[in-house]
Amino acid sequence: DVVMTQSPLSLPVIPGQPASISCRSSQSLVHSDGNTYLDWFLQRPGQSPRRLIYKISNRDSGVPDRFSGSGSDTDFTLKISRVEAEDVGVYYCMQGTHWPPTFGGGTMVETK
Amino acid sequence: EVQLVESEGDMVKPGGSLRLSCIASGFTFSSYAMHWVRQAPGQGLEWVSSISRTSAYIYYADSVKGRFTISRDNAKNSLYLQMNSLRAEDTAVYFCAREALSGYTNDFWGQGTLVTVSS
């Protein structure tokens, strides 16, 4: 299975400041169809995961533009330009390119 | 509005069985593949099982193969997970999730249901 490694484990951020989360895969996530199936999810406390970003950099409907995804091949990043209180929670990356789908271990974002 | 509502979880003894349900609304259920994903207490996310739109293709994680059975009833907009020979390590919140029409990603998740396996 593809191993997804996230860093950091925990990210304390001052509201209004930027935040960046890294996700690395154990093998290339470029699919034979040319797409790269790398998603980002946010799980707020006590809630189910909500998809924020799909195929590296596409924001889901209703996701603020302060969230952006980038990267390629095996190295991906989620950036929050200015963290707000509602952004607190655990962020997960997930790959869908290779079977079975696998998730990163999560990054907990909290405000200072 | 897309909704996925899982049945209430339960506490079962090791070796016991439990059937989870997930009722879908707000979209054409029969057009989407569906998944079960679980999260052990304080842990990350683990994919468990998937089923295609017509049930023609079914997949399981190695950790549940031979013990869990996924199924669906498109007429009832329902997804199921029959869990047998439960172990303590199956204790988790179980989420049903919809696979996007384009595939390779889960775009909507249910609220999850807690299954506790303990004597």
- Asked if the C-beta of B114 comes within 8 angstroms of chain A's C-beta atoms, the answer is no
Nearest to B95 by CA among B13, B18, B21, B42: B21
pLDDT value of residue B102? 85
Q: Quick check: helix, strand or coil at residue A38?
A: strand
- Asked if the C-beta of A61 comes within 8 angstroms of chain B's C-beta atoms, the answer is no
- Asked if the C-beta of A89 comes within 8 angstroms of chain B's C-beta atoms, the answer is no
Q: What percent of chain B is modeled with pLDDT above 70?
A: 100
pLDDT value of residue B103? 86
Contacts of B109 in chain A (CB under 8 A): 48-50
Under the banding of pLDDT at 50, 70 and 90, the label for residue A84 is very high
State mean pLDDT over B65-69. Answer: 98
Residues 6+ positions from A65 with CB-CB distance below 8 Å:
A59
